[in-house]
Amino acid sequence: MTITVENQGSLTAYNVVGMLTTTDPNVTILTSQPQSMDDINAGGTSTCEFIVSASANIPAGYTADLTLNLNADFGVTQQTTFYLLFPDYCYPTAKCSLGDGFNGFALEQINNMTGNGCSPNGYGDYTNMVADLQGGQNIQFNGDQDLVISGHRFGLI
Using CA atoms, how far residue 150 sits from 98, 99, 153, in Å, is 10, 12, 8
Note whether residue 95 is domain-resident. Answer: no
Within this chain, do residues 82 and 7 fall inside the same structural domain, yes or no? yes
Which range marks the domain in which residue 10 is found? 2-86
Q: Indicate whether 92 belongs to any domain.
A: no
pTM: 0.56
Is 97 a domain residue? Answer: no
Domain count, the chain: 2
Which of 36, 57, 86 is the last residue before a domain boundary? Answer: 86
Looking at the fold, whether 70 and 7 belong to one and the same domain comes out as: yes
| 8 located within any domain | yes
DSSP string of 64-84, one letter each residue: EEEEEEEEEGGGEEEEEEEEE
Interval 23-77: pLDDT, tens: 999 999 999 999 999 999 999 999 999 999 988 888 888 899 999 999 999 999 9
Residue 70 located in a structural domain: yes
pLDDT tens-digit readout, 102-142: 667 777 887 777 656 666 666 667 778 788 877 777 777 76
Give the C-alpha separation, 126 to 39, whole Å: 50
Please give the backbone phi and psi of residue 120, each rounded to the nearest 5 degrees, phi first.
-55, 135
